[in-house]
Structure 1
């Protein structure tokens, strides 16, 4: 396979009919979400299902999910790059754009949850470092900045290729020239870029661990049943790596089918990523056992109500489905070589991602409905939480917005690095000779 063939295969393609339908669907879902948010801003948080006790709902569940799946950028790109895993190349940019789009909407969904968006600037002008919420603001802002740089720097060598193969004077070419106006492709520039990527690779790993650890502290520093745990940091981080790896497997399959990338995203990539998913699912299952075994052994009164609601109560079906379908079934299927083929791996990735979203919902809602002080003399609606259509619209709209960013990105930029792929091909030829 020569360089011209690689370039033509990996250049971004124009949308076909299916692409336009997919994009239109995402735009419609985003607009419905915006209308739901308009109603929430004008009418207040009373349009949601949140009340005095369940003051956090699917917005916070969605926030934790976005933060979790964003860790895939550091897992795939930084850790694998530093480890010298050469097979990572076709999936690095996939993981990077997932990370950037997810952390961006994690920030947006927090503003939605505030109820009073005009007070958002208070976090920056009147923030107090004693507050764990301020820690989260700092680490999310830092992680978003580094993730954008981590996406941008490896993209630079592809910019001249994109300029050369785009229509002269077109809007798209102007975007390319703006982004890569300073990039000439000299040896000095490549050396600076490589050093910058190495530095960011080292920096992003502790920041990635910090972002989900700090998010877990928002819960753990709040004195409530189910959150009063020193296990929460490791519990959140392990779950984040799992959903991130599952999300990459899903994205690999979708891009492979949509852009005919079978020659670049091969069975080897699905096999390797599936093994990683198994390892991370076992790790997350271990921390889940830790999370529930110790409180179940002590069985404090408030913890008893919380655990009963999860294991046998109102949330039991959701809880056991998330555990069995989101962790145990993927482990069993992906342990076998046939299960690590593209189609079964894709299906297991979907189970991991969907199970992870509902697992975040189970971290938030059952705890809010299991306060240390029992609920007396309150309306019946306070004892339950059911999201309203506005909440569902905003939540689905935010998920659609994440996918829309990824979709637009793949229309403008190669989802597999062209220059890096050509370099690897030439390097392998030299080794063969």
Structure 2
């Protein structure tokens, strides 16, 4: 096959997904209806207040804050895949970079909305910006989340510019307004050496800058917990502990997306078994580091067994939260690590199933971090109803918690239908480099 035919095949294969079809409309309709139901639950919460949830005076952070921590965590995968692996010269990760950036942008953009869902008076959010105090970790969190969303948008858009021009040139069947939009966003790209140099330099600068911002976003989130004296949160390792856990959740999310993109968009020639094998090894690496921090989190206070530490650990190991705790640790971390050590389990289907378990474990791990420690306050619980002592999410709370996931899927679905999932321009460049 001649080089031009190969280029034409690459372009056709990678632009094939940019179209509206019946399966897309069915899927998008399902997401839309589900979102309306969940937003209806949120309207009830706005009308009646947080009393419709399981949140009370003692457990005031429940599923909503667990969700926020999870969303912030998963958003770090863009930095891991595009910045860390890209700057270290891991070329195998190049076809997966855009998938990671789409996931990162979707989760980071929705993370801020999750915080709003936890507020009884969301109209007061503006006060964080107007009357925010530099001493408050909440102000830091809002600031770094906003900056990270902006940088993630640039990190997705700037390397995308050449592909937008290709979309304008090749997608003749699109409506005129859509083609004109591609032309506008491509910023008169012509592929000149000067333009290519600007794109590469800009991408490299953003890749360097996004690393400290991405580390800050989850470190600051960890400080929201660690800056208190509550048992279970009063820890000096929460910063790196949260960051490594974020890499685990993000890597699992990318593997799941790889599997569905590869099968639904017929991208087996571009997302190969080699990529799944490499991602499986990466997931093992970050999971082992995360397992080390998990051991530190419980071994040190468990060895000293101070009064309130003992109450907290006993509640996790043998008490009310024991089943969830051990399922998270063993089913969501230990067993996946052992399975992924075998090459057969790093094939697409088994690795995707393992990643689903890891991602579920990652969410419930945030629940384990957020909720149990609030059920053991320093002051004794006296003369209060049972629902003040034990946190139980309500149906409305569960529906509102699901809403951000639906929003993330909508964002990912829309982006997947308007831009190439695999970088077209870079794939063609690699072809030409290997002549």
Shorter-normalised TM range: over 0.9
Contact 2:58 2:375 in 1 (8 A): yes
For residue 13 of structure 2, what is the aligned residue in structure 1? Answer: 9
2:132 to 114, 127, 136: 127
2:197 to 169, 178, 191: 191
Q: 1:284 to 1:97 in 2, by over 3 A?
A: same
Contact 1:54 1:365 in 2 (8 A): yes
Contact 2:161 2:187 in 1 (8 A): no
| Residue 365 (structure 2) pairs with residue 359 (structure 1) | yes
Q: How does 1:175-324 map to 2 (within 5 A)?
A: 175-324=181-330
Q: Alignment partner of 1:54: what SS?
A: coil
For residue 116 of structure 2, what is the aligned residue in structure 1? Answer: 111
- C-alpha deviations, 1:346-405, integer Å up to 9, x for none? 111111111100100111010111112221221111011111122111111110110110
1:34 to 22, 33, 39: 39
Distance in 2 (CA, whole Å) between partners of 1:215 and 1:141 is 13
Q: Alignment partner of 1:120: what SS?
A: helix
Task: Select between 61-70 and 5-14 the one with higher mean Cα deviation.
Answer: 5-14
Task: Select between 337-346 and 298-307 the one with higher mean Cα deviation.
Answer: 298-307
| Residue 430 (structure 2) pairs with residue 414 (structure 1) | no
Superposed displacement of residue 222, structure 1: 1.6
Distance in 1 (CA, whole Å) between partners of 2:199 and 2:379 is 57
TM-score (ref. length: structure 1): 0.97
Gaps of 5+ in 1: none
Q: 1:342 to 1:168 in 2, by over 3 A?
A: closer
Task: Select between 31-40 and 287-296 the one with higher mean Cα deviation.
Answer: 31-40
Distance in 2 (CA, whole Å) between partners of 1:104 and 1:180 is 23
Distance in 2 (CA, whole Å) between partners of 1:360 and 1:21 is 32
Contact 1:33 1:398 in 2 (8 A): no
Q: Alignment partner of 1:53: what SS?
A: coil
Q: Alignment partner of 2:118: what SS?
A: helix
Would you say how many aligned residue pairs link Structure 1 and Structure 2? 429
Distance in 2 (CA, whole Å) between partners of 1:28 and 1:95 is 27
Superposed displacement of residue 169, structure 1: 4.6
Q: Alignment partner of 1:144: what SS?
A: helix
Contact 2:145 2:217 in 1 (8 A): yes
Contact 1:32 1:394 in 2 (8 A): no
CA RMSD after TM alignment: 1.2
Distance in 2 (CA, whole Å) between partners of 1:316 and 1:344 is 28
Q: Alignment partner of 1:416: what SS?
A: coil
| Residue 57 (structure 2) pairs with residue 52 (structure 1) | yes
Contact 2:168 2:182 in 1 (8 A): yes
Distance in 1 (CA, whole Å) between partners of 2:177 and 2:414 is 14
Q: 1:286 to 1:172 in 2, by over 3 A?
A: same
Superposed displacement of residue 70, structure 1: 0.4
Contact 1:172 1:412 in 2 (8 A): no
Distance in 1 (CA, whole Å) between partners of 2:338 and 2:365 is 19
For residue 146 of structure 1, what is the aligned residue in structure 2? Answer: 151
Distance in 2 (CA, whole Å) between partners of 1:376 and 1:426 is 73
Distance in 2 (CA, whole Å) between partners of 1:70 and 1:59 is 17
